[in-house]
Amino acid sequence: MQRRKFVAAAALSSAAAAAPPAKPAIDGGTPVRATPLRAGYWGSQYYDEKERAELMDVLEGQSPFRWYGTKPPTKVLQFEKEFAARMQTKYALAVTSGTAALQCAMAALEIGPGDEVILPAWTWHSCFNAVVLAGALPVCVEIDESFNIDPNEIEKHITAQTKAILAVHLQGNPCNLERVIAIAKKHRLRVLEDCAQSVGASYKGRPVGSMGDIGIYSLQLNKTITAGEGGAVVTSDAALFERASRFHDLGGFRAPHQQFTGEAKLDWFFGTNFRLNEFSGGVLLAQTRKLDQIVGAVRGNARSVYAGIRDLKNVKYRLLHDPDGELGTGVFIDFGTKERCDRFLAAMKAENVPAAKPGGSVILPTLPHVIEKKTIHPNWPSFTSARGKAIRYGAETCPRTIDILGRFGGVLMDPKYTRKDIDDVIAALRKVVPAMV
Ligand SMILES: *Cc1c(COP(=O)(O)O)cnc(C)c1O
């Protein structure tokens, strides 16, 4: 750039920075955008001829079943191989959903009646349900400002019956896994990583899901990559893989999976059917090959937003235990009180850059059916033990979780946001946030 032009540009941008921010739309100013910006679903926006070709292979080959058919099926098996490689684990098992994956993980870890599993108070229904459906007792723990389980709150909930910690990485942000794993080691507990909302995220350089004893992912529409529905279990432990595979397929261990581990080591036990079909396997294979591209895009957008508002004073962000590894699902800010956060949400909506509360999960202990321990049968073993009868859920058991989720709000990211979209997000935040924090 010519020096004269550069000086002029610099003067202009410093003048813009010094100028008072434009009037927020909620106070009668002009909205940043004429029409609302909307974050979309991620993986499905990347569907193209790759997914089409995979689907056509299955259709034309007339081979929709994963284990056999007119033409030897390959899609689910290939997906499992490539997914395991991407997650840096020895084995991956494809299943019909993230919820199914959690149930397989429970079976793999031999969790059952009399056992207790520690999980965050804020997470998706599936986590609590999988523990109950295994006949075990869910024990909820408060979250920290990463919106994930607070390691400082775990040990007080450990009993002689505790068998595992469900370490959930919510809304793209890994939990404090180092501390969780250290606590688990000290008390000889298993760690199950639920990476449903963080497919493709990493923690201290390693993919989430690869550091606990076993990991699960959801491949449902709302997650990073998708076939509408789908899930996966990963582990590097051959025995855990064999148990998960057997559970997902009625108790048997098929030859292709025996080839993964070298041999079958266990006998049949009672399992269910969570097998994935070849259509879904083909789509997920194509999507797995795009995972890094999608993660790179969404992460890049979140980083641009952070950079665009970095100079705003007194802004406290969501706690990131590994800023390099998080997905960048959203950029969340602490507004101190629920009232201020609600005003932020209303002000952003007026700018046509809608903001959101933390989402995609529920505060489990506050749900009526959790408080009432509503199982499918009155003698369901989760709540018939002395401890199961004594345990109390309810809002009073998780005040800090409720407080944190009440006062944080932020903008959600989309991997396909344009530079203009990102600039609008930044412009809206620069108008609205200084008035709120
Ligand atoms: C989505 C989700 C699941 C369940 O996945 P489905 O594929 O919907 O069954 C489990 N855990 C968490 C944290 C989730 O967000």
User: Quick one: 223 and 120 in the same domain?
Assistant: yes
In a shared domain, residues 348 and 210: no
Residue 257 lies in a domain: yes
Closest C-alpha to ligand 1, atom 3: 98
**SS3 category, 56:** helix
Q: Is residue 384 part of a domain?
A: no
Task: Please tell me if the CB atom of residue 274 comes closer than 6 angstroms to any atom of ligand 1.
Answer: no
The pLDDT of residue 170 is 98
Are the C-beta atoms of 277 and 227 separated by less than 8 Å?
A: no
Give which of 292, 332, 356 is closest to 39, Cα–Cα. Answer: 356
Strands (E), 42-189: 91-95, 116-120, 122-123, 137-141, 162-168
Question: Would 157 be classed as within a structural domain?
Answer: yes
User: How remote is the CA of residue 196 from the centroid of ligand 1, in Å?
Assistant: 5
Residues 156 and 280 in one domain: yes
Q: Are residues 196 and 154 in the same domain?
A: yes
Report d(CA 397, CA 4) in Å as an integer: 64
> Cα of 62 to ligand 1 centre, how many Å?
31
CATH of the domain at 19: 3.90.1150.10
Ligand 1 site-directed mutation target among 124, 170, 284, most atoms within 8 Å of CB: 124
Same domain assignment for residues 224 and 345: no
Buried b (16+ CB within 10 A) or exposed e, 8-44: eeeeeeeeeeeeeeeebbbeeeebbbeeebebeebbe
- The residue whose CA has the least distance to atom 4 of ligand 1 is 98
- Verify whether ligand 1 is closer than 6 Å to residue 366 (CB atom): no
Pocket test for ligand 1, best of 122, 126, 208, 361 (most atoms within 8 A of CB): 126
Q: What CATH number has the domain bearing residue 252? A: 3.40.640.10
Ligand 1 pocket test, candidate residues 175, 218, 287, most atoms within 8 A of CB: 218
User: Residue 20's pLDDT is what?
Assistant: 63
Q: Of the listed 223, 265, 357, 431, which one is catalytic?
A: 223
Under the phi-then-psi rule, with left for phi > 0, alpha for psi from -120 to 50, and beta for the rest, what region is 147? Answer: left
Assess whether 201 and 86 both reside in one domain.
yes
- 346 and 280 within one domain: no
CA 146 to ligand 1 centroid distance, Å = 18
- For residue 100, give the ligand 1 atom closest to its CA: 9
Q: Tell me if 105 CB under 6 Å of ligand 1.
A: no
Atom 5 in ligand 1: residue holding the nearest Cα: 98
Residue 276 belongs to what domain range? 49-290
- CA of 219, closest atom in ligand 1: 7
Residue 368 covered by a domain: no
Q: Which two tokens stand for residue 330?
A: 């959203």
Provide the number of structural domains found in the chain: 2
Residue 391 lies in a domain: no
Q: Considering 263, 290, 317, which residue would you say is the last residue of a domain?
A: 290
CA end-to-end distance (rounded Å), the chain: 38
State CA 268 to chain mean position distance. 32
- Is the CB of residue 360 below 6 angstroms from any atom belonging to ligand 1? yes
Residue 20 is classified by DSSP as P
Residue 365 located in a structural domain: no
Is residue 376 a part of any domain in this protein?
no
Locate all alpha helices (DSSP H) within 117-271, ordered by sequence: 125-133, 177-187, 238-248, 255-261
Residues 121 and 37 in one domain: no
Ligand 1 centroid–CA 136 distance in Å is: 19
pLDDT tens digits in sequence order for the chain, 437 residues long: 344 444 444 444 444 454 566 899 999 999 999 999 999 999 999 999 999 999 999 999 999 999 999 888 999 999 999 999 999 999 999 999 999 999 999 999 999 999 999 999 999 999 999 999 999 999 999 999 999 999 999 999 999 999 999 999 999 999 999 999 999 999 999 999 999 999 999 999 999 999 999 999 999 999 999 999 999 999 999 999 999 999 999 999 999 999 999 999 999 999 999 999 999 999 999 999 999 999 999 999 999 999 999 999 999 999 999 999 999 999 999 999 999 999 999 999 999 998 999 999 999 999 999 999 999 999 999 999 999 999 999 999 999 999 999 999 999 999 999 999 999 999 999 999 998 87
By residue count, the chain amounts to 437
Does the beta carbon of 280 lie inside 6 Å of ligand 1? no
Residue 370 placed within a domain: no
Quick one: 90 and 175 in the same domain? yes
Q: Are residues 103 and 233 in the same domain?
A: yes
Residues 175 and 59 in one domain: yes
What is the rounded distance in angstroms from the CA atom of residue 66 to the CA atom of residue 182? 39
Catalytic residue flag (residue 431):
no
Q: Which of 266, 290, 314 is the last residue of a domain?
A: 290
Domain boundary among 290, 311, 328: 290
Cβ of 172 below 6 Å from ligand 1: no
Same domain, 158 and 269: yes
